A and B are shown apart, each in its own frame.
Chain A
Amino acid sequence: MTVAAPGPERPSERSAGPERPSERSAGTRREAPSSPEEAAEVMRAAGDEERRVQVRGGGTKRSWGAPLRGGPADIELSTERLDALIEHNEGDLTAVLQAGVPLARAQKAFAEANQMIALDPWLGEGGEATIGGVVATGDSGPLRHQYGAARDLILGITFGLADGTVAKAGGNVIKNVAGYDLAKLFTGSFGTLGLVLEVVMRLHPLAGNRMTAVGGSDDPDALGRAASAVAHSPFGAESLDVAWSDGHGEILARFGGAAPEAAATQAVELLGEAGLDAQRVGDDEGLWERQRQRQRASDGTVVRVSGLTSALPAVLRSAHEADASLVGRAGMGLSWVTLPAQETSALVAVIEDLRRRLRPFPCVVFDAPSDVREKVDVWGDDSAVPLMRRVKARFDPYNVCNPGVFVGGI
């Protein structure tokens, strides 16, 4: 086990991501606790006084979720000082991190032992995104194809609730079924249950050599066939993505390990058989950085479509008709459709039209300007919302943790 000291001093105000003026005002008190105990005390006091708390990590996803109910937060709790990489257990392939550790910094430390947290979402221009923020939003990138999402990689959690409770669930080992899996419940909960203080993550070896098979076409059906062929192939791609813009698309299949060339060659053949113009790319990091980046929009609006592999052509056509670009995990049925910036009411209409076309696939809006998020239901509905409300009521009965930002107004 190695124990790392807290990271280097950083400016307390980070500049990543669009600031949302509507959600921070002169009335917002800023807290930056330096220990889990201090953080728990902030949470307890907020609960006592029924003050609404919004958590801030690296500030790269400020425009995610519905607007906070009741206007700007009473308290903005920053995790910037909870930034210790507590354990890196190389031999056990696990790590314990405080919520405010920037994921990029942690990955650098793990890479020295040829290891990684197999989560590669876009982390901001300066790598500001924290592990706590990535877990709380359930964000992920192209590695998801092989390794799953944050929910699949989290082993344990310590969290603080708005009554001062500090509790943990899960453990420090990669296999454990003792107790309820609250670590996964908190993953993707957008800070509406409580404050993530510390997480235990599973690590994986770095993939070694890598090679990507890329094939292009203007035909959504050919792209769909190609994605499906690779998704069903026995070659074990590390990532399988789709990209679409301006009437042209690509399927990208990345292979890693000791000998990725053979699998990449076979994938090129599959892409070719599906009608794509395909080739192998050895120096492929730029391709994947582009995929990660295009999952986000600095001036547009992103709609995440939870579809199915077989529906890829339909999703591509809908994106095209909306004059949008798209990236996606082709083997998982997940797509991020970036709508161009336009006037609010037009944008709202496009989102609603996209939802209508793609029904029953859930479409969630990210990165939208605040006036758009005021006007559309960012999350859409889900039949389990009444049960989710019951869960919320047990963990945050006073409704102080990020109220209103989640599905169903939770």
Chain B
Amino acid sequence: MRCDVIDARLVETLVRICGREHVLTNKDQLRTYESDGLRHYRSPPPVAVLPGSADEVREVVRACHEVSCPWVARGAGTGLSGGALPITDGVLVVLTRLNRILEVDLDNQRVVVEPCVTNASVSKAVGPTHFYPPDPSSQVVSTIGGNVSENSGGLHCFKYGFTTNYVTGLEIVLPDGEVVALGGKELDRPGYDLLAAFVGSEGTLGIATEITLRVIPLAESHETMVAYFGSIEAAGEAVSEIVAAGIVPAAIEIMDELSIEATENWTHAGYPLDVAAALIVELDGPEAECDARSGDVLEIFKSAGATGTRVAENEEERALIWKARKAAFGAMGYLSPYYYVQDSVIPRTRLAEILGRIRELSEESGFRIANVFHAGDGNLHPLVCFDARNPGEAEKAEEVAGQILTACVQAGGSITGEHGVGVDKKKHMPEMFSEQDLEAFQRLRCAFDPDGLANPGKVMPTPRLCGEVPGPYRRHPLEQAGVAERL
């Protein structure tokens, strides 16, 4: 049973739970929520509810469960895969009012937050001595709840890891309205690692209403260096040599010519416009270690054929170098009115080959394709520039982006490194996963959400239902006799 049209009684129940001002049914108001960061997918929800506490979230979810009404949870809406795209026959649960930092336990390096605390404010709360390592470029706006949902990475994840490595506890509301605590401040609580199952589940297993994060001490020293190269391949070669030398930079990023052009227009960070690629390497750690290693890195830059280098002299210069990199997506507006971001991952050693394929696709299609990527972990963000005002161009751009993604999967990579599958890449899931793999995913989903109410239509390539948990299996007499086989 599905509520094809939102039942007026359900709306009244939501009003009773959250107050009339926090239940939106007006079409104009609802347009605010019609899409997330993946702007070209739009679907206004029939109703949006803004609960103000974990209890209200639980009551909202329970009310939906009682009438079998599906729902989608949303944080700041910065996601880039349409994970928070509303559904036309369900409730949009907007969590922005749950934005309190509940506890800073610096002694134990833990911070407890509500889901819509922004990523950047966690580091701010524990600074200047400590920080929260996952740092997506959207960190000023994007929320911890959204980061948990997508298992967000960021610029520093090559060394420090992802959201999943920093969540130690969650309080979640299951799709039947039950509240469950997973983990806590302590590590290794007995039982299955359901924290790991939940982080990155893209809102399909429930809603996190309280999140316990691990923070770590800020390194004693950091050194930020940029090298310019005549080809992206040469920059890629420098990355390989750095890794082969056993150096683990805190961040290691490449921007190509087009990305540099776009960001320089905006940030004036001083990147030269006549180079094919800029490689940013940031080392951090104890001062003596940084000093020893930065010399090694500069030496590698030189031997890999860098045409120039720049070392940040102070904190301002470091911030400026990063400002340009973090602005890369936003700045693309200077080059093109629309762009389509990909998030595929390749084994880093296949970089030259994939860049060649991207170049071919650009030439064949006529679209300009800019490249910014997390070079350490092989996470590419090709930006396919197009103009949606020309009929058919958006579809064509999506097709080209899909071809890039296919090439990456064929090279042994992944369709998504940090943006999530959402609606955007679900049709590509079968390129990575067999039917048995997808069925295994569905087993987990059904354990949490047997009625299929949480964010339906996302992640999995085709809609699936959960069967009953099978009872003890008995072979049919015909099977026993070898007359028939179970298929």
Contacts and interface: CB of A to CB of B under 8 A. Distances in A.
A91 B349 contact: yes
B162 A175 contact: yes
Contacts of B447: 387, 390-391, 393-394
Interface string A268-288: 000000000000000000000
Interface in B416-441: 416-421, 425, 429, 432-434, 436-441
A165 B439 contact: yes
25 contacts: A91-B243, A138-B193, A165-B440, A172-B412, A172-B413, A173-B417, A174-B378, A177-B414, A177-B416, A177-B421, A179-B429, A181-B164, A184-B197, A187-B196, A188-B188, A188-B193, A189-B193, A232-B109, A236-B217, A258-B292, A259-B289, A304-B188, A362-B188, A398-B472, A410-B191
Contact of B291 (A179, A189, A259, A385): A259
A11 interface: no
A173 B182 contact: no
A161 B473 CA distance: 14
A114 B414 CA distance: 27
Given A50-B473, A309-B107, A236 B285 contact: yes
B286 A235 contact: yes
B437 A179 contact: yes
A169 B441 contact: yes
Interface string B192-204: 1110110111000
Interface string A163-184: 1011111011111111111101
B444 A173 contact: no
A180 B433 CA distance: 11
Contact of B445 (A91, A180, A387): A180
Contacts, number: 283
B150 interface: yes
Contact of A261 (B288, B420, B421, B438): B288
Contact of A406 (B130, B158, B191): B191
Interface in B65-120: 106-109
Given A177-B416, A205-B247, A387-B180, A168 B190 contact: no
B154 to A, nearest CB: 11
Interface string A198-210: 0000001110100
Contacts of A261: 288
Contact of A175 (B190, B374, B436, B470): B374
B437 A167 contact: yes
B199 to A, nearest CB: 7
A291 interface: no
Interface in B347-382: 347-349, 374, 377-379
Contacts of B246: 114, 205-206, 208
Contacts of B243: 91, 93, 205
Contacts of A114: 246
Contacts of B218: 234
Interface of A: 47-48, 50, 89-94, 114, 138, 148-149, 151-152, 159, 161, 163, 165-169, 171-182, 184-185, 187-189, 193, 204-206, 208, 228, 231-236, 255, 257-263, 266, 304, 306-310, 332-334, 361-362, 364, 379-380, 382-388, 390-395, 397-398, 406-408, 410
Contacts of A384: 180-182, 191-192, 194
A48 B473 contact: yes
A263 B415 contact: no
Contacts of A47: 473
A175 B191 contact: no
Contacts of A310: 107-108
B148 to A, nearest CB: 12
B181 A180 contact: no
Contacts of A361: 186
B388 interface: no
Given A91-B240, A232-B129, A178 B416 contact: yes
A165 B438 CA distance: 11
Given A169-B437, A180-B445, A258 B289 contact: yes
A76 B60 CA distance: 48
A47 B475 CA distance: 11
A179 B377 CA distance: 18
A185 B107 contact: no
Interface string B155-196: 001100110110000000010000011100111111111101
B318 interface: no
B288 A262 contact: yes
A362 B440 contact: no
Contact of A173 (B130, B187, B413): B413
Nearest to B181: A383
B191 A236 contact: no
B153 interface: yes
A228 B285 CA distance: 19
B412 A173 contact: yes
Given A181-B199, A232-B129, A395 B415 contact: no
Given A165-B440, A167-B439, A263-B289, A177 B107 contact: no
Nearest to A174: B377
A175 B418 contact: yes
A234 B220 contact: yes
B315 interface: no
Nearest to A381: B190
B443 interface: yes
B192 to A, nearest CB: 5
A384 B196 CA distance: 14
B446 A189 contact: no
A405 to B, nearest CB: 12
A204 B415 CA distance: 24
A94 B190 CA distance: 29
B151 interface: yes
Given A175-B414, A181-B196, 8 more contacts: A48-B475, A167-B440, A173-B347, A175-B345, A177-B418, A206-B246, A261-B288, A386-B180
A162 to B, nearest CB: 9
